[in-house]
């Protein structure tokens, strides 16, 4: 986080309320199952960003945020109600409701229990457990570069395999698809290009550097911050936007995962804030409840600053040139080199750190993030919240 960012009028006003780490804080630990305690922020800047990136009017943007807040809260209840018949869930922007898939053998009592939570119900052939098992079998395959990624899509009731359009007819791609179909139900979709990570060479005036690589801070944790694993190895030193020493990578994993955490010291400190870059006010972080598929989500990064989109898929395996990365969440938010490690946030709930994607913020594209709760759990960290 930029030190001069703390001089912003909005953040200065927040700091006058008291210490971030004392009275009134309820940090979300790695073992918590955090849920939002209040309706998400509807600041003018956030609504403007949703207008720009999602094409929503101000009233529709506010209504969607409220509906997504409700869906995020009831999703765990609906999943428990569905039990073994659970086939996945997603937020339906058209109806403004959470949709829960259940298998055809679900009992009338199970259907009533799911509907009683307020969720809509869709009948599907395969349970979430069966689809996850099929994806796990596909994870054991070696994917060629023409295969971009694959994930379970509960709405499609299958594992979606994303293939680079110009490579779809390649023999190695067809061989992978044949083996994938042997593993379970598959839907093939075409994407414009292969994924890449979003680290960048040195450019002055940006959040942090590791050697000649520039990346972005994700979220503050007590003692440091989380970011992308491809940005640095354990033991690597980190410099801030002004090239002063910040701290050291304490843990890092890439590929297989794409997460890391950096300890901070030497006069640097952590606050539960995501930079709005003047597009929106700096956003407070109040928890880390995972938003459902279909929810709106925004990203903050040091290159392209603040952009919004929707959650497209969860638990996707991404086939980077450096190796596959698992359990990623895919979004329609754009990003560019230097945005790696930056914050994905939905309302006031931390979602994850930017990993990579394809496209850019001029022509559009897609990005993936590593879910923040997995990072907290892996390293035993506690998210810094208000």
Q: Domains of the chain: which residue ranges? A: 1-79+195-386, 128-194
Strands lying side by side in the sheet with 28-29: 28-29, 382-383, 219-221, 224-227, 259-264, 245-253, 237-240, 208-210, 213-215, 200-201
Fold of 128-194: GMP Synthetase; Chain A, domain 3 (3.30.300)
pTM of the model: 0.80
pLDDT tens series, the chain, 386 aa: 343 443 333 332 222 222 222 222 223 333 333 444 455 656 788 888 899 999 999 999 999 999 999 999 999 999 999 999 999 999 999 999 999 999 999 999 999 999 999 999 999 999 999 999 999 999 999 999 999 999 999 999 999 999 999 999 999 999 999 999 999 999 999 999 889 887 654 333 368 999 889 999 999 999 999 999 999 999 999 998 778 888 999 999 999 999 999 998 877 888 899 988 888 888 899 999 999 999 999 999 999 999 999 999 999 999 999 999 999 999 999 999 999 999 999 999 999 999 999 999 999 999 999 999 999 999 999 999 98
For tokens 């869709």, name the residue.
122
User: What pairs with residue 240 in β-bridges?
Assistant: 208
Q: DSSP alpha helices (H): ranges in 22-148? A: 44-54, 58-82, 108-116, 128-139
Residues designated as active site:
230, 258, 340
CA distance 338 to 228: 11
pLDDT for the residue numbered 41: 57
348, burial (CB in 10 Å: exposed 0-12, middle 13-18, buried 19+) = buried
The highest-level CATH class for domain 1-79+195-386 is mainly beta
pLDDT for the residue numbered 38: 53
Angle between helices 44-54 and 58-82 in degrees, nearest 10:
80
Token pair for 336:
């560019």
* Alpha carbon separation from 42 to 59, 225, 264, 347, 355 (Å, rounded): 10, 26, 32, 8, 27
């Amino acid at each position: 986080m930029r030190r001069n960012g703390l001089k912003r009028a909005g953040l200065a006003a927040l700091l006058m309320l008291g210490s971030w780490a004392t009275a009134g804080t309820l940090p979300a630990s790695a073992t918590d199952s955090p849920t939002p305690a209040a309706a998400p922020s509807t600041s003018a800047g956030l609504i403007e960003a949703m207008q720009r990136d999602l094409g929503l009017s101000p009233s529709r943007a506010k209504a969607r945020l409220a509906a997504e807040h409700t869906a995020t809260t009831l999703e765990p209840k609906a999943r428990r109600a569905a039990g073994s018949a659970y086939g996945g869930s997603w937020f339906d922007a058209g109806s403004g409701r959470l949709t829960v898939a259940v298998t055809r053998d679900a009992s009338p009592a199970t259907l009533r229990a799911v509907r009683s939570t307020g969720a809509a119900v869709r009948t599907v052939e395969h349970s979430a457990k069966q689809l996850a098992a099929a994806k796990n079998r596909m994870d054991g395959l070696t994917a060629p570069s023409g295969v971009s990624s694959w994930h379970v899509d509960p709405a499609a009731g299958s594992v979606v395999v994303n293939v680079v359009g110009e490579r779809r007819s390649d023999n190695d791609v067809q061989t992978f698809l044949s083996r994938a179909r042997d593993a379970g139900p598959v839907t093939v979709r075409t994407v414009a290009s292969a994924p890449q990570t979003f680290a960048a060479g040195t450019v002055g005036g940006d959040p942090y550097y590791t050697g000649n690589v520039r990346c972005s801070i994700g979220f503050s944790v007590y003692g440091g911050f989380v970011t992308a694993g491809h940005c640095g190895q354990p033991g690597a030193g980190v410099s801030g936007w002004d090239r002063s020493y910040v701290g050291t990578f304490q843990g890092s994993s890439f590929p297989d995962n794409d997460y890391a955490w950096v300890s901070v010291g030497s006069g640097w400190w952590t606050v539960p804030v995501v930079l709005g870059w003047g597009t929106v006010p700096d956003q407070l972080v109040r928890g880390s409840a995972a938003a459902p598929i279909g929810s709106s989500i925004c990203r903050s990064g040091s290159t392209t600053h603040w952009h919004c989109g929707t959650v497209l898929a969860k638990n996707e395996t991404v086939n980077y040139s450096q190796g596959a990365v698992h359990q990623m969440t895919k979004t329609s938010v754009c990003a560019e080199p230097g945005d790696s490690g930056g914050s994905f946030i939905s309302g006031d709930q931390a979602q994850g750190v930017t990993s990579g994607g394809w496209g850019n913020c001029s022509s559009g594209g897609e990005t993936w993030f590593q879910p923040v709760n997995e990072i907290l759990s892996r390293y035993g960290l506690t998210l810094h919240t208000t």
